[in-house]
Amino acid sequence: PHVINRIAAGEVIERPASVVKELLENSVDALATRIEVDISTGGIDLIRISDNGEGMHPDDLLLSVTSHATSKIRSDEDLQKVATMGFRGEALASIASISRFRIRTRRLGLDTGLDTGRELQADGGDVNINRECGCPQGTVIEVHNLFFNTPARRKFLKKPSTEFGRISEQFSKIALANPNLHLVLRHNDKLVYELPATPNQLERIRRFFGSDLGDKLIPVESKATTEAGEEIRLWGFVGDPSFSRGTRKDQYLFLNGRHIQDRSLQHALGEAYRGLLMVGRHPVSFLFLELPPHLVDVNVHPTKTEVRFQDGQSLYRQLLHTLRDKFLSLNF
Ligand code: ADP
Ligand code: MG
């Protein structure tokens, strides 16, 4: 299991997009309503995430970026070692140890009794600035020169446009999971997405993919109940069979507000369209699963994209039947 953990955890900060994913999730956890993402050179030069969330207490700041007892990473080998220690609760510390890291944060005065923020800078995990600063409520994190001290890892990066593509994908997943968030993405100072907050999921999808796609989506919804009487809700939008794609890239699945991947449910989706699409074509889908957290293990993989459902077979059937019933009622 150690080897597996190491391989899995080593994948967590594999590229700039992994940093963006971790930082965006933190901002969401901090109840931000507005998040801006600024990227330079595919995230290799700079990743900056600014949120208006609850901020961090000044006393917690140092701890959050130095929680590894030996956080000073000098080599790729060290990075592997740190990775084996597990990752959860270690994202900031890990990112700080492989970059020139800056953070400015301020909590609401009420609970700190302070009316200033705090600023911290670390290079490769060495903290060189930790002081009071003036800043608005929320948190701004800058990650400069990712992998500057782990050359082997840096060497594996693709060209900036490719790395930015991956970042954009991570951004999309957060954006689709949280339509109530105002989100901005810029690359090299150019605006890529500005998504105003909306209570309407379909509107967020349209903003992203254009109303052409929005018009070809069919709403679906179903509720199932477990033996213990707990509710499993499946809802979302799936593509009209007259419209399809050559890849599965636009098949999105969210579990309790987080993007996940699941082969079995992806298969159920394909089965539901069986006979409705030409071979090699795939439906578009935006599906949301809501179920009690104890019915699923999210700690299977450190990036938490793969999960293990307690009763995956029932979910498979629920998805398949929800879509089939819908297609039947529409006479497809
Ligand atoms: P985890 O998210 O698993 O707790 P992280 O290393 O990602 O671990 O973050 C460490 C801690 O730093 C978080 O638990 C949170 O308290 C704090 N934190 C990180 N990012 C933010 C943010 N944007 N706003 C407020 N607090 C944050
Ligand atoms: Mg985190």
pLDDT in tens, 172-194: 999 999 999 999 999 999 999 99
| Ligand 1 nearest atom to the CA of residue 53, by list position | 24
Q: Quick one: pLDDT at residue 197? A: 97
Confidence of residue 320 (pLDDT cuts 50, 70, 90): very high
Nearest CA to ligand 1 atom 18: 26
In this predicted structure, which of 51-60, 139-148, 227-236 has the lowest mean pLDDT?
A: 51-60
Cα-based angle 110, 182, 101 (whole degrees, multiple of 5):
65
| Cα 91 to ligand 1 centroid, rounded to whole Å | 8
Q: Which of 13, 20, 26 best tests ligand 1's pocket when mutated (most atoms within 8 Å of CB)?
A: 26
Mean of pLDDT values over 222-240: 96
Question: Ligand 1 pocket by C-beta < 6 Å: which residues?
Answer: 22, 26-27, 30, 51, 53-56, 64, 88-92, 139
The contacts found for 60-64 with CB under 8 angstroms, 24 or more apart, are: 61/103, 61/105, 61/118, 61/120, 61/130, 62/120, 62/127, 62/130, 64/92, 64/93
The mean predicted confidence, pLDDT, of the chain is: 89
Residue 79 pLDDT > 80: no
Q: Which of 92, 95, 98 best tests ligand 1's pocket when mutated (most atoms within 8 Å of CB)?
A: 92
Q: Quick one: pLDDT at residue 63? A: 87
| Ligand 1 nearest atom to the CA of residue 93, by list position | 6
Residue 107 pLDDT > 50: yes
Confirm whether the ipTM is greater than 0.95. yes
Nearest CA to ligand 1 atom 3: 89
Residue 85 pLDDT > 50: no
Q: Quick one: pLDDT at residue 115? A: 76
Phi, psi of 94 (to 5 degrees): -65, -45
Instruction: Report pTM.
Output: 0.89
**Token pair belonging to 28:** 């969401």
| Ligand 1 nearest atom to the CA of residue 138, by list position | 24
Confidence of residue 78 (pLDDT cuts 50, 70, 90): low
Q: Show the 3-state SS of the chain.
A: CHHHHHHHHHCCCCCHHHHHHHHHHHHHHCCCCEEEEEEEHHHCCEEEEEECCCCCCHHHHHHHHCCCCCCCCCCHHHHHHHHHCCCCCCHHHHHHHCCEEEEEEECCHHHHCCCCEEEEEEECCEEEEEEEECCCCEEEEEEECCCCCCHHHHHCCCCHHHHHHHHHHHHHHHHHHCCCCEEEEEECCEEEEEECCCCCHHHHHHHHHCHHHHCCEEEEEEEEECCCCCEEEEEEEEECCCCCECCCCCEEEEECCEEEECHHHHHHHHHHCCCCCCCCCECCEEEEEECCHHHEECCCCCCCCECEECCHHHHHHHHHHHHHHHHHHCCC
| Cα 64 to ligand 1 centroid, rounded to whole Å | 7
Mean of pLDDT values over 198-218: 93
* Number of neighbours of residue 95 by Cβ within 10 angstroms: 23
Confidence of residue 169 (pLDDT cuts 50, 70, 90): very high
Which of residues 298 and 5 earns the better pLDDT score? 298
| Cα 75 to ligand 2 centroid, rounded to whole Å | 23
| Cα 230 to ligand 2 centroid, rounded to whole Å | 29
In this predicted structure, which of 74-88, 138-152, 204-218 has the lowest mean pLDDT?
A: 74-88
| Cα 26 to ligand 1 centroid, rounded to whole Å | 5
Domains for the chain: give ranges and CATH numbers.
2-195 (3.30.565.10), 210-329 (3.30.230.10)
Confidence of residue 88 (pLDDT cuts 50, 70, 90): low
Residue 10 pLDDT > 80: no
Nearest CA to ligand 1 atom 11: 64
Q: Contact 182/196 with Cβ under 8 angstroms?
A: yes
| Ligand nearest, relative to CA of residue 90 | 1
| Cα 131 to ligand 1 centroid, rounded to whole Å | 19
Q: Quick one: pLDDT at residue 7? A: 37
| Cα 151 to ligand 1 centroid, rounded to whole Å | 27
Q: Which of 51, 64, 105, 258 best tests ligand 1's pocket when mutated (most atoms within 8 Å of CB)?
A: 64
Residue 75 pLDDT > 70: no
| Cα 328 to ligand 2 centroid, rounded to whole Å | 43
Q: Quick one: pLDDT at residue 152? A: 86
Residue 310 pLDDT > 80: yes
Which of residues 246 and 299 earns the better pLDDT score? 246
Residue 126 pLDDT > 50: yes
Confidence of residue 110 (pLDDT cuts 50, 70, 90): low
Confidence of residue 89 (pLDDT cuts 50, 70, 90): low
Residue 83 pLDDT > 60: no
**Token pair belonging to 328:** 């039947």
CB-based contacts of 212: which residues, under 8 Å, 6+ apart?
none
Buried b / exposed e along 183-202 (16+ C-beta atoms within 10 A): bbbbbeeeeebebeeeeebb
